[in-house]
Structure 1
Amino acid sequence: MNQAIRRTWVAIVALLAIIMGATTYVQFFAADAINNDALNTSRKLDAANSSPRGTILAGGEAIAESVKNPEGSTYAYKRVYNDAKLYSGLTGYFSLDAGVTQLESSQNQTLMGSSDDQFFDRIANLFTGTEDQGANIELTIDPKIQKAAYDALPDDFKGSVVVLNPKTGEILAMVSKPSFDTNLLAVQSTSKAAANRAELSKNKNIRLYWNPAVQDRVSPGSTFKVLDLVAGMETGYFKLDGEYDNSLKWTPPGTSTPLGNFDGGNCSQQPDKASLRFIVAQSCNTPFGQAIQEIGQDKMKEVTERFGFNSKPDWLGLSPTAASVWPTDKMSPGNLASASIGQYDVQTTVLQMAMVSAGIANDGVLMKPQLIKQVTGSDLKVLQDFKAEKYSTVTTPQIANDVTELMRGPVQSGTARRAAVPGLDIAAKTGTAQIGTGTGKVNAWITGFAPADDPEVAIAVNVENITYDQSHGLTSTIMKNVLKAVFNK
C-alpha cells in the first residue's frame, strides 16, 4: 500500500513539474513569439472579450473597463471607454477591426492577467478553477488637469498639451485635438467598427494609430532658444546680465540670406546692443544666430541630447514614439543660424519641449517622464509601484536658475504676457515657427513652468499649421487656462 502511495505521489509531482515547466516555457520564453504571431491576433481579441480585462484608471476613476454583456451575447465582456476623447491617445483601443493601440497594446499582458508578475496567480487558478483576471493600471494623469488641458485647446485646430511634474517625471496631462471616441472602434461588430474607422479617417488630422504628443514632430521655433541659453551659458558666451548685438538683420558667413528679427516686433526698440533679458523677453533672433556660430553644432548636440533629443521615449508604453531631432549632419553657418531659432531641420514633439522646461525647472535634473503610477492585481495586491527615475543631468543648478530668471521676462513684459496669472510666478518661452516659404502658416508654441521659484508643473503647448494672426497669443492663453486650473486661480 505504501509503495502504491509513493508511486502516486511521484506521479503527481512529475505531472506538476511538467505543468510548471510547460507554463514557464510559454510565459517566459515563447510569449513574445506567440503574441506577435499574426495568426493569434484575432484569438487575442476574442480572448480579451471573453474574460474580465483589467481596468485603466486616472485619479481612481475607470477610463477603460470591461463590462459584462447580456446572456447570449457573442462575447462575455465588452470594452468601454469613459471620457473617451480626453484619453484616446493614452488608452488607445481594443478593436476587432483596427487592432490594438497605445496602453491597451503595450500593457496587454498585464491587462489580460498573463504578465510575469501574475505567474503564480495563474498557477493557483489552475488548481482552484478560478477564472484569470487582468490587473488594473492606475495612471499618473490628474483628471482635473487633463480636462483643463483638453478644454483649453480650441476645437477647430490641431494641437497638443503635455503637463509634467518636474520633480518626479509624472505625466499629469497629455491631450491632443482633434480627438475621437474610442468606443466607436471597440464595438463588437467587425463591419460596424470598419465603418466607424472609415468615417473617422475622413478627418486627416485625427490620429487613429498614434498619440500626436509623442509622435508628431514640428519645428519648435523660438522655444528652442531655451536650449541655446543653456549651451551659451555653459560655454561662457551668454551671461545673465550681459549685452549682445541685436541688429535688425544679420547675415551669416557664406550666405547672402540674412536672419532677421520679427518685423514690427519690440526687438526694434533696441536695434544695436540689447540686454540678454530684453532679447529673451522679446524673442529677438539675431543674437542667437550669432551666438550659435561660437557655441558650435557639436556643443548644441551634446546639450540637446541631455534633454532627450535624438532618442525615442519608448519606455512610456505609447507606440509609436518619435525622437526629437537636432541635426547630426554638418550644417552651414546659415543653416546653423536657422537651427538656433528652432527652424531648419530641428524637429520636436510636444513631450520633448515639456521635458526641456522640466529639466530647467528641477534645477538642471531631468526626471524620466512616466505614465504608470501603480499596477494592482484583482486581489488589490500591488504588482508595480511608481518610482521616480532620473533621466539625466541637463545642466548646473546655477545655469538652470539663470535660465529660469530669463524665462520670467516673456511673461512679465514680453511675448508671453497673455500667459500671466495674477498671483502666480511663471517662467515661459514662446515660439512661432514658419512653415515653408510664403505659406503664411506657422506652428505656435509655448513652454514653461510654475511657480518659477518652486515649480510644481512644467508644460508645453503646440498648435499646428495656423496663420500668424491666429497664433497671436493663442498658446499663451492655453497655458494660462491650464495653470489656472492647476492652481485654482
Structure 2
Amino acid sequence: MKDYRRKRIQIISAVTLVLAGLMILSILWTTIRNTTHDKTYAKQQKEELVSRDSKKVLCGDIIDTNGTVIASAKKDGNGQKIQYEDPYAYTLFVGLTEGMDSPETYGLYELYQDELYSTVKDEEKGATIQMSIDSSLQKYAYNLLKKQNKRGSAIIMDAKTGAVKACAFTPSVNGNNLSSTWKEDLQNSGGFIKPLRNPAVPGSIYKITTSVGILEEGLENEAVKDEGSVKIGNTTLSNSGGAAHGKISLPQGFLSSSNVYFGTMGEKYLKQEKLENLADRFLIGKNLRLDFGTVSSTFYTNNKKTKFTDIQNAWTAIGQNQVQLTIVNAAMIAQTIANDGIMMKPYAVRSIYHGSGQDKTYEMKTKPQEYKKVTEKAVTDKLRQIMKSTGEHYTKQLTGKNTIKAGGKEISIGLKTGTGEIGNNKRNSIWITSMAPADDPEYVIAMNIYDSDEAGKSLLGDIISLYQQAMK
C-alpha cells in the first residue's frame, strides 16, 4: 500500500511539473513575441503550412495600420526584389534585404524570415506583416528630418498602448535601388544600418528621470541657489550660457533646465545608488528585444558598473557622463510619465496573417503589454504638470500662444528639451521628448538631431507639426 501511495504521489508530482513547465513556456513565448495566438491559425499551421522555399515563395508584404502596402516583393529574373512604397522613409526602421539567403538582411526581414517566406495551400506569397505605423505619418516624420540634413531620428508613439505610429531615421538609403557600396555610403554620411543600437548623449531630457527621483524622495521643495555655476570637487558645472536663476526648487529648475539645480540634487541628495536605481527602472543600460529589433542604451560605458565621483553623479543627473539613449528610450521615458507611471512595451507589429479578405487567417495579433510599473501616479501627476508648464512656456515663446491647435481643439504640449554636449567641440546632440494633450496624453513624440550647433528647443516647431499631423 505504501509503495502504491508513493508511486501515485510521484505520478501526480511529475504531471504537475510538466503542466507547470508548459505554462511557464507559454508565458515566456507570449512575453518574448508580445503577441496572442489565434487557434485557427495554429490548427492550419499544423495541417497545411508549407515549408519556406525562397525559390518558390515570394516574400510576404509589409503593410501599414491602414492596409497601405509599405514593401512588397516582385519577381526579378530567377529571384525577387523588395520594392518600397517610399524608397527612403521606411528602410532603416522596417528593414532591408537582398534576398532570403543573403547575409545582408535587417529589421523585420531578419526577425520574421520564417513567417515572410512561409505559405499555406498554394499561395504565391508568404505571410503579410501588418505594422502599427501609419505610412503618411512615417513619410511626414522622415521629410521633417531630411530638411535638417543631419543624422536624426523621430518617433510617434501611442501614449496608452506603446504602439509605434512612426519611427524614421536620417540619413537613409534607397531600398529600391541599393548600390554595391550602400553601407559605406551610409556610414560616410554619418548614418547607421541599425540606428537603434547606436545611442547618443541625451542631455537635459534625462532630467525627467532625475525629477522622478527628486519627487520620490520628497525633495521637490528643496531650494538650490543657482548663481550660474557650481564647483563640485575640482570641476565647475555651469548652466547653458552661464545663466543664473537664483533660489530655485524643482518646478523652476525644470523650466530653466538648470544644470546647477539638477547637478546639485544628483551629487548631494540622490547620489549614485538612487541614480542607478532610476536608470534601472526606466530600462536604461539594457538591450531591449522588441518586435521591431533590439534597442540599446547605456548608463555605464559598455554597461560595466564603475564607481562615480561626485561630479560624475552631477553629470549623470543632467544627462551627461556615461548616459546614452536612442529615440525609442526617449519616447519610453515620456510615455511612462504620460501613462501614470506605467511603462508600456513599444511594439510595431500589429499582426501577421496568411490569406486576404474574408479568407484571412491570423497567426498572431499583438496585445498591448505592460512592461513595468516605474513609479507612482502621484509622482507622475506632479511631473506631468511641470512638463505642461514647461511646454506652454516654450510654445508661447515660439508662437505667441501657450497652446497649439490640433485635432480641432486647443491643446498644451508637455515636454522637456535637451542639449547633450558631444566632446569639447561645441557640437550638440539636441532633443525634445514630449506628450500631448498634456492633461490626458494620446501621443508621445520625440525627436533628435545629432551634431548640431542649435539647442533642443529649436526642434519645437517640428514637434508641433508632428502633433498636428498625428491628430488630424
TM-score, length of structure 2 as denominator length: 0.80
Which stretches in structure 2 are left out of the alignment for 5+ residues? 1-51
How big is each residue's C-alpha offset from its partner over 1:124-169, in whole Å with a ceiling of 9 and x where there is no partner?
x4xxxx3564110100102232222212222411110111112111
Establish whether residue 391 from structure 1 lines up as the match of residue 371 from structure 2: yes
Alignment of 1:471-482 (within 5 A): 471=455, 473-482=457-466
Corresponding residue pairs, total: 403
SS state at 1:184 partner = coil
Establish whether residue 411 from structure 1 lines up as the match of residue 387 from structure 2: no
Q: 1:460 aligns with which of 419, 438, 446?
A: 446
* Corresponding letter in the other structure for 2:264: Q
Decide whether aligned partners of structure 1 residues 416 and 366 sit closer, same or farther in structure 2, where only a CA change above 3 A counts. Answer: farther
Alignment of 1:11-410 (within 5 A): 47-48=53-54, 50-58=56-64, 59-69=66-76, 73-75=77-79, 77-95=80-98, 99-113=104-118, 121=120, 125=121, 130=122, 133-153=125-145, 154-185=147-178, 193-194=179-180, 197=182, 200-201=185-186, 203-207=188-192, 209-210=193-194, 212=195, 214-239=196-221, 243-252=223-232, 255-263=233-241, 265=243, 268=244, 270-271=245-246, 273-293=247-267, 294-319=269-294, 321-325=295-299, 328-378=305-355, 379-410=359-390
Instruction: Provide the C-alpha distance between the structure 1 equivalents of 2:75 and 2:288, rounded to a whole number of angstroms.
Output: 35
Instruction: Provide the C-alpha distance between the structure 1 equivalents of 2:201 and 2:227, rounded to a whole number of angstroms.
Output: 24
Check whether the contact 1:353–1:447 (CA below 8 A) recurs between aligned residues.
Answer: yes
% identical aligned pairs: 26
Which stretches in structure 1 are left out of the alignment for 5+ residues? 1-45, 115-120, 186-192
Decide whether aligned partners of structure 1 residues 385 and 484 sit closer, same or farther in structure 2, where only a CA change above 3 A counts. Answer: same
How big is each residue's C-alpha offset from its partner over 1:105-141, in whole Å with a ceiling of 9 and x where there is no partner?
1111010117xxxxxx4xxx4xxxx356411010010
Check whether the contact 2:417–2:456 (CA below 8 A) recurs between aligned residues.
Answer: no
Q: 1:445 — aligned with what?
A: 431
Instruction: Provide the C-alpha distance between the structure 1 equivalents of 2:368 and 2:241, rounded to a whole number of angstroms.
Output: 45
Instruction: Provide the C-alpha distance between the structure 1 equivalents of 2:104 and 2:338, rounded to a whole number of angstroms.
Output: 39
* Corresponding letter in the other structure for 1:260: S
Instruction: Provide the C-alpha distance between the structure 2 equivalents of 1:237 and 1:221, rounded to a whole number of angstroms.
Output: 22
How big is each residue's C-alpha offset from its partner over 1:179-217, in whole Å with a ceiling of 9 and x where there is no partner?
1111123xxxxxxx52x536734733232x31x2x2221
Instruction: Provide the C-alpha distance between the structure 1 equivalents of 2:187 and 2:368, rounded to a whole number of angstroms.
Output: 41
Larger radius of gyration: 1
Instruction: Provide the C-alpha distance between the structure 1 equivalents of 2:333 and 2:397, rounded to a whole number of angstroms.
Output: 21
Decide whether aligned partners of structure 1 residues 472 and 394 sit closer, same or farther in structure 2, where only a CA change above 3 A counts. Answer: closer
Instruction: Provide the C-alpha distance between the structure 2 equivalents of 1:462 and 1:433, rounded to a whole number of angstroms.
Output: 10
Instruction: Provide the C-alpha distance between the structure 1 equivalents of 2:463 and 2:395, rounded to a whole number of angstroms.
Output: 13
* Corresponding letter in the other structure for 1:85: Y
TM-score, length of structure 1 as denominator length: 0.77
Instruction: Provide the C-alpha distance between the structure 2 equivalents of 1:399 and 1:52, rounded to a whole number of angstroms.
Output: 51
How far apart are 1:256 and its partner, in Å?
Answer: 1.8
RMSD, aligned α-carbons: 2.3
Q: 1:28 — aligned with what?
A: none
* Corresponding letter in the other structure for 2:197: Q
Check whether the contact 2:94–2:292 (CA below 8 A) recurs between aligned residues.
Answer: no
Decide whether aligned partners of structure 1 residues 150 and 131 sit closer, same or farther in structure 2, where only a CA change above 3 A counts. Answer: closer
Check whether the contact 2:62–2:129 (CA below 8 A) recurs between aligned residues.
Answer: yes
